[in-house]
Amino acid sequence: MNYVILLFLVFIFVSANGMELKDFIPFGKDAGDQIISKGDDYAIKFSFKEHHLPFYGHNFNHFYLSVDGILTFHKAVTSVSSHPHRPSIAPYHTDLTTTFGDGNIFYRFLIDQQSLDQLSTALNIEKLKRHTFQMAFIVTWHNVSSFSNIKRTNTFQTILIWNNQTSFGIFNYHSLYFDNENAFKFKIYPSKNSHGISICDSNDFNDLLLKSNVNNKKGQWLHELRTFREEVKMENKYQTTTTSMVSNLILNQIKKRNFSEFLHFSIEFFH
Protein backbone atom coordinates (compact mmCIF):
# COMPACT_ATOMS: atom_id res chain seq x y z
CA MET A 1 0.00 0.00 0.00
CA ASN A 2 2.80 2.43 0.83
CA TYR A 3 4.36 1.83 -2.58
CA VAL A 4 1.09 2.75 -4.31
CA ILE A 5 0.85 6.05 -2.41
CA LEU A 6 4.45 6.93 -3.19
CA LEU A 7 3.97 6.39 -6.91
CA PHE A 8 0.83 8.52 -6.87
CA LEU A 9 2.67 11.44 -5.27
CA VAL A 10 5.44 11.25 -7.83
CA PHE A 11 2.86 11.49 -10.60
CA ILE A 12 1.41 14.66 -9.12
CA PHE A 13 4.59 16.56 -8.44
CA VAL A 14 6.94 15.51 -11.24
CA SER A 15 5.57 15.94 -14.73
CA ALA A 16 6.92 14.56 -18.00
CA ASN A 17 8.87 16.83 -20.28
CA GLY A 18 7.02 18.58 -23.06
CA MET A 19 8.54 20.46 -26.00
CA GLU A 20 12.19 19.69 -26.69
CA LEU A 21 14.57 22.57 -25.99
CA LYS A 22 15.97 22.37 -29.52
CA ASP A 23 12.54 23.43 -30.75
CA PHE A 24 12.49 26.57 -28.56
CA ILE A 25 13.39 29.86 -30.19
CA PRO A 26 17.12 30.16 -29.36
CA PHE A 27 17.75 31.88 -26.04
CA GLY A 28 20.70 32.83 -23.84
CA LYS A 29 23.70 35.08 -24.27
CA ASP A 30 24.63 33.54 -27.61
CA ALA A 31 21.19 34.47 -28.92
CA GLY A 32 21.63 38.09 -27.86
CA ASP A 33 19.49 37.92 -24.73
CA GLN A 34 19.63 40.09 -21.67
CA ILE A 35 19.52 38.29 -18.31
CA ILE A 36 17.27 39.37 -15.47
CA SER A 37 19.25 39.85 -12.27
CA LYS A 38 19.13 37.01 -9.78
CA GLY A 39 16.45 37.40 -7.16
CA ASP A 40 12.97 36.65 -5.91
CA ASP A 41 9.60 38.42 -5.80
CA TYR A 42 10.28 41.33 -8.12
CA ALA A 43 9.22 42.62 -11.51
CA ILE A 44 10.58 44.76 -14.33
CA LYS A 45 8.62 47.35 -16.29
CA PHE A 46 9.37 47.73 -19.99
CA SER A 47 8.12 50.90 -21.70
CA PHE A 48 8.39 51.62 -25.41
CA LYS A 49 7.33 54.63 -27.46
CA GLU A 50 6.65 52.90 -30.76
CA HIS A 51 4.51 49.99 -31.90
CA HIS A 52 2.07 49.72 -29.01
CA LEU A 53 0.93 46.21 -28.16
CA PRO A 54 -2.74 45.49 -29.08
CA PHE A 55 -4.34 43.43 -26.34
CA TYR A 56 -8.07 42.70 -26.44
CA GLY A 57 -9.27 46.13 -27.43
CA HIS A 58 -6.53 48.15 -25.73
CA ASN A 59 -3.13 49.35 -26.91
CA PHE A 60 -0.36 49.22 -24.34
CA ASN A 61 3.03 50.96 -24.50
CA HIS A 62 4.38 49.04 -21.52
CA PHE A 63 4.12 45.84 -19.52
CA TYR A 64 5.56 44.35 -16.33
CA LEU A 65 7.50 41.10 -16.33
CA SER A 66 7.48 39.21 -13.02
CA VAL A 67 9.98 36.59 -11.96
CA ASP A 68 6.93 34.56 -10.91
CA GLY A 69 5.89 33.75 -14.47
CA ILE A 70 3.39 36.47 -15.34
CA LEU A 71 3.22 39.60 -17.53
CA THR A 72 0.84 42.33 -16.36
CA PHE A 73 -0.27 45.67 -17.76
CA HIS A 74 -1.66 47.82 -14.93
CA LYS A 75 0.74 47.16 -12.07
CA ALA A 76 3.79 45.13 -11.14
CA VAL A 77 3.28 41.73 -9.52
CA THR A 78 5.91 40.87 -6.93
CA SER A 79 4.24 37.92 -5.18
CA VAL A 80 1.91 35.03 -5.88
CA SER A 81 -1.75 35.33 -4.99
CA SER A 82 -4.81 33.17 -5.60
CA HIS A 83 -6.55 36.35 -6.79
CA PRO A 84 -6.07 36.81 -10.56
CA HIS A 85 -4.16 39.85 -11.77
CA ARG A 86 -6.11 41.39 -14.64
CA PRO A 87 -5.40 42.12 -17.44
CA SER A 88 -2.42 39.81 -17.73
CA ILE A 89 -0.67 36.98 -19.52
CA ALA A 90 0.30 34.18 -17.15
CA PRO A 91 2.27 31.45 -18.94
CA TYR A 92 2.92 29.80 -15.57
CA HIS A 93 2.26 31.97 -12.53
CA THR A 94 3.70 30.32 -9.43
CA ASP A 95 6.32 31.08 -6.80
CA LEU A 96 9.63 31.06 -8.70
CA THR A 97 13.11 32.24 -7.82
CA THR A 98 16.48 32.64 -9.51
CA THR A 99 18.23 33.19 -6.17
CA PHE A 100 19.23 29.52 -6.00
CA GLY A 101 20.74 27.22 -8.59
CA ASP A 102 21.86 28.03 -12.10
CA GLY A 103 18.46 29.02 -13.50
CA ASN A 104 18.03 32.29 -15.39
CA ILE A 105 15.34 34.37 -17.04
CA PHE A 106 16.42 35.55 -20.48
CA TYR A 107 14.69 38.15 -22.64
CA ARG A 108 15.10 40.21 -25.76
CA PHE A 109 13.12 42.49 -28.04
CA LEU A 110 13.13 42.26 -31.81
CA ILE A 111 12.32 45.33 -33.84
CA ASP A 112 14.25 45.11 -37.13
CA GLN A 113 12.31 43.54 -39.96
CA GLN A 114 14.88 40.90 -40.83
CA SER A 115 14.84 39.43 -37.32
CA LEU A 116 11.04 39.58 -37.16
CA ASP A 117 10.72 37.76 -40.48
CA GLN A 118 13.20 35.13 -39.32
CA LEU A 119 11.25 34.66 -36.10
CA SER A 120 8.00 34.18 -38.01
CA THR A 121 9.70 31.66 -40.31
CA ALA A 122 11.24 29.77 -37.41
CA LEU A 123 7.90 29.50 -35.61
CA ASN A 124 6.55 27.93 -38.80
CA ILE A 125 2.90 28.68 -38.02
CA GLU A 126 0.67 29.39 -40.99
CA LYS A 127 -1.47 31.99 -39.19
CA LEU A 128 1.58 34.12 -38.42
CA LYS A 129 2.77 34.08 -42.02
CA ARG A 130 -0.27 36.13 -43.04
CA HIS A 131 1.06 39.16 -41.15
CA THR A 132 3.99 41.54 -41.23
CA PHE A 133 5.07 42.25 -37.67
CA GLN A 134 6.70 45.32 -36.17
CA MET A 135 7.90 44.10 -32.79
CA ALA A 136 8.45 40.97 -30.72
CA PHE A 137 9.38 40.08 -27.17
CA ILE A 138 10.90 36.72 -26.23
CA VAL A 139 11.27 35.68 -22.58
CA THR A 140 12.55 32.30 -21.41
CA TRP A 141 12.51 30.88 -17.89
CA HIS A 142 15.33 28.32 -18.06
CA ASN A 143 15.84 25.90 -15.15
CA VAL A 144 14.22 28.41 -12.79
CA SER A 145 13.66 26.92 -9.34
CA SER A 146 10.36 26.62 -7.55
CA PHE A 147 10.67 28.49 -4.27
CA SER A 148 9.09 25.68 -2.26
CA ASN A 149 11.52 23.11 -3.66
CA ILE A 150 14.65 24.60 -5.20
CA LYS A 151 15.69 21.23 -6.61
CA ARG A 152 12.66 21.29 -8.89
CA THR A 153 13.05 23.56 -11.90
CA ASN A 154 10.86 24.99 -14.63
CA THR A 155 11.66 25.75 -18.26
CA PHE A 156 9.17 27.55 -20.49
CA GLN A 157 9.16 30.33 -23.07
CA THR A 158 6.73 33.07 -24.07
CA ILE A 159 6.87 34.95 -27.36
CA LEU A 160 4.77 38.05 -28.01
CA ILE A 161 4.76 39.28 -31.59
CA TRP A 162 2.66 42.16 -32.89
CA ASN A 163 1.94 45.03 -35.25
CA ASN A 164 -0.47 47.95 -34.92
CA GLN A 165 -3.49 45.82 -35.75
CA THR A 166 -2.95 42.43 -34.12
CA SER A 167 -0.85 40.47 -31.68
CA PHE A 168 -0.12 36.84 -30.87
CA GLY A 169 1.23 34.94 -27.90
CA ILE A 170 3.18 31.72 -28.44
CA PHE A 171 3.82 29.59 -25.36
CA ASN A 172 6.43 26.82 -25.29
CA TYR A 173 6.67 24.42 -22.33
CA HIS A 174 9.57 22.03 -21.70
CA SER A 175 9.31 21.14 -18.00
CA LEU A 176 7.19 22.33 -15.09
CA TYR A 177 6.98 21.55 -11.40
CA PHE A 178 3.52 21.53 -9.88
CA ASP A 179 3.25 22.51 -6.24
CA ASN A 180 -0.30 22.52 -4.94
CA GLU A 181 0.70 24.55 -1.88
CA ASN A 182 1.15 27.65 -4.05
CA ALA A 183 -1.29 29.41 -6.33
CA PHE A 184 -0.66 28.76 -9.97
CA LYS A 185 -2.26 29.81 -13.22
CA PHE A 186 -1.68 29.36 -16.90
CA LYS A 187 -4.25 31.74 -18.26
CA ILE A 188 -4.71 34.93 -20.27
CA TYR A 189 -6.90 37.58 -18.64
CA PRO A 190 -8.14 39.98 -21.36
CA SER A 191 -9.69 42.55 -19.01
CA LYS A 192 -10.28 43.49 -15.39
CA ASN A 193 -13.55 41.55 -15.30
CA SER A 194 -12.67 38.48 -17.36
CA HIS A 195 -12.58 34.96 -15.98
CA GLY A 196 -9.52 34.12 -18.03
CA ILE A 197 -8.75 31.95 -21.02
CA SER A 198 -6.75 28.81 -20.32
CA ILE A 199 -3.59 28.66 -22.41
CA CYS A 200 -4.24 24.98 -23.06
CA ASP A 201 -7.67 23.53 -23.83
CA SER A 202 -8.34 22.57 -20.23
CA ASN A 203 -7.26 23.32 -16.67
CA ASP A 204 -5.15 20.17 -16.56
CA PHE A 205 -1.57 20.97 -15.63
CA ASN A 206 -0.09 18.19 -17.75
CA ASP A 207 -1.95 19.30 -20.89
CA LEU A 208 0.41 22.27 -21.12
CA LEU A 209 3.29 19.87 -21.68
CA LEU A 210 1.73 17.00 -23.57
CA LYS A 211 -0.77 18.63 -25.95
CA SER A 212 -0.78 21.50 -28.45
CA ASN A 213 -3.17 23.65 -30.50
CA VAL A 214 -0.53 24.53 -33.08
CA ASN A 215 1.06 21.76 -35.08
CA ASN A 216 1.06 18.59 -33.01
CA LYS A 217 4.33 19.65 -31.41
CA LYS A 218 3.60 18.89 -27.79
CA GLY A 219 3.96 21.73 -25.34
CA GLN A 220 3.30 24.58 -27.80
CA TRP A 221 0.26 26.88 -27.71
CA LEU A 222 -0.83 29.86 -29.80
CA HIS A 223 -3.32 32.61 -28.97
CA GLU A 224 -4.40 35.66 -30.89
CA LEU A 225 -4.54 38.49 -28.35
CA ARG A 226 -6.59 41.12 -30.10
CA THR A 227 -10.09 39.62 -29.77
CA PHE A 228 -12.12 37.74 -27.18
CA ARG A 229 -12.50 34.75 -29.48
CA GLU A 230 -11.15 31.67 -27.74
CA GLU A 231 -8.93 29.82 -30.19
CA VAL A 232 -7.79 26.97 -28.01
CA LYS A 233 -10.06 24.06 -28.97
CA MET A 234 -8.16 21.03 -30.13
CA GLU A 235 -10.48 20.52 -33.10
CA ASN A 236 -9.44 23.97 -34.41
CA LYS A 237 -5.70 23.43 -34.37
CA TYR A 238 -3.44 25.88 -36.09
CA GLN A 239 -1.59 24.07 -38.84
CA THR A 240 1.85 24.63 -40.28
CA THR A 241 2.56 24.58 -43.99
CA THR A 242 5.15 21.85 -43.58
CA THR A 243 6.05 19.21 -41.04
CA SER A 244 9.75 19.50 -41.71
CA MET A 245 11.98 21.04 -39.05
CA VAL A 246 13.18 24.59 -39.51
CA SER A 247 16.91 24.57 -40.03
CA ASN A 248 19.17 25.42 -37.12
CA LEU A 249 20.77 28.04 -39.35
CA ILE A 250 17.55 30.06 -39.47
CA LEU A 251 16.92 29.60 -35.76
CA ASN A 252 20.39 30.73 -34.80
CA GLN A 253 20.05 33.86 -36.93
CA ILE A 254 17.27 35.19 -34.69
CA LYS A 255 19.36 37.48 -32.55
CA LYS A 256 18.55 40.83 -31.03
CA ARG A 257 20.69 43.70 -32.23
CA ASN A 258 22.88 45.59 -29.76
CA PHE A 259 20.70 46.85 -26.91
CA SER A 260 21.92 50.40 -27.53
CA GLU A 261 19.66 50.43 -30.59
CA PHE A 262 16.65 50.27 -28.23
CA LEU A 263 17.22 53.57 -26.42
CA HIS A 264 13.54 54.41 -26.82
CA PHE A 265 12.87 51.77 -24.15
CA SER A 266 12.89 52.48 -20.45
CA ILE A 267 13.26 49.84 -17.76
CA GLU A 268 12.14 50.07 -14.13
CA PHE A 269 12.51 47.56 -11.28
CA PHE A 270 9.85 46.79 -8.67
CA HIS A 271 10.37 44.82 -5.44
CA quadruple 238, 234, 174, 97: dihedral sign: positive
Asked if residue 55 lies in contact with residue 247, where contact means CB atoms within 8 angstroms, the answer is no
Global model pTM greater than 0.85 = no
For residue range 82-125, list pLDDT tens digits in order: 788 899 999 999 999 999 999 999 999 999 999 999 999 999 99
Q: What is the pLDDT of residue 181?
A: 57
* Angle, alpha carbons 36-16-119 (nearest 5°): 50
Other Cβ atoms closer than 10 A to 120? 20
Quote the Cα angle for 225-252-116, to 5°. Answer: 35
Judged against a pLDDT cut of 50, whether residue 255 lies above it is answered with no
In whole angstroms, what is the distance from residue 73 CA to residue 12 CA?
Answer: 32
Average pLDDT over residues 146-152: 90
Give the lowest-confidence range in 80-84, 194-198, 233-237: 233-237
By CB neighbour count within 10 A (0-12 exposed, 13-18 middle, 19+ buried), where does 180 fall?
Answer: exposed
Average pLDDT of the segment spanning 141-163: 95
